[in-house]
Amino acid sequence: MSALPKLAGKLVIATHNAGKLREIQALLAPYGIECLSAGQLGLPEPAETGTTFVANALIKARAAAEASQLPALADDSGLCVAALDGRPGVYTADWAERQPYEGGPGRDWYMAMGKVEGKLAEQGPAVDRSAHFACVLAIAWPDGTDAVYEGRVHGTLTWPPRGTLGFGYDPVFVPHGDTRTFAELDPAEKHAISHRADAFAKLVADQFAV
């Protein structure tokens, strides 16, 4: 990793998700990086055709770096539920996509949380409710160089959803060591323990260590 270019100045965040952008900006703020989102630059969203978090993160980062000619950071993350054989996993966002009969297009995260809960309920009250959030951060440079950093946070799923902070499946995820959901945690608390924070700690050690 020592041969990698170092991040400085402008960095494209390859996302159109406002919640994810806010988290990444907050994590990068101490390092003087100017974050520009793919949405702000009008970059298209590439098809996420990978079957792993790593593959999809690299697809997004490489596409943004090529289109902008700036270093780009992409995040691919999701909820992996033990009793559902790791699903929704890389299809985490897809489970929130509304179909025409559900009032689509767009994403409905309450519906997605309900799908997970419904599948758990089918297995009975003794079902294993353990889960983890996984995050892969990929950085790509215009010259074709790239790097990948992976993080996780483990916890359990609760129902009904609680809290109004965070985004996605945060209202049903209780991290180990706490009784509050991610959506009940102050953003600073969540940033300190999240799967994204775990991956960022590895990125920071690699990119900004003196």
DSSP 8-state assignment for residue 125: T
d(CA 24, CA 20): 6
DSSP SS3 for 68:
helix
Six token digits for residue 27: 């994590």
Nearest by Cα to 34 from 18, 17, 11: 11
List the beta bridge partners of residue 208. Answer: none
| Residue 178 annotated as catalytic | no
CB 21 within 8 A of CB 75: no
Q: What angle do CA 8, 14, 17 make, to 5 degrees?
A: 125
The answer to whether the CB of 168 falls within 8 A of the CB of 109 is: yes
Q: Is 79 exposed, middle or buried (0-12, 13-18, 19+ CB in 10 A)?
A: buried
Helix (H), strand (E) counts: the chain: 5, 6
Q: Among residues 75, 76, 146, 198, which one is catalytic?
A: 76
- What is the rounded distance in angstroms from the CA atom of residue 154 to the CA atom of residue 176? 6
Q: What is the set of active-site residues?
A: 76
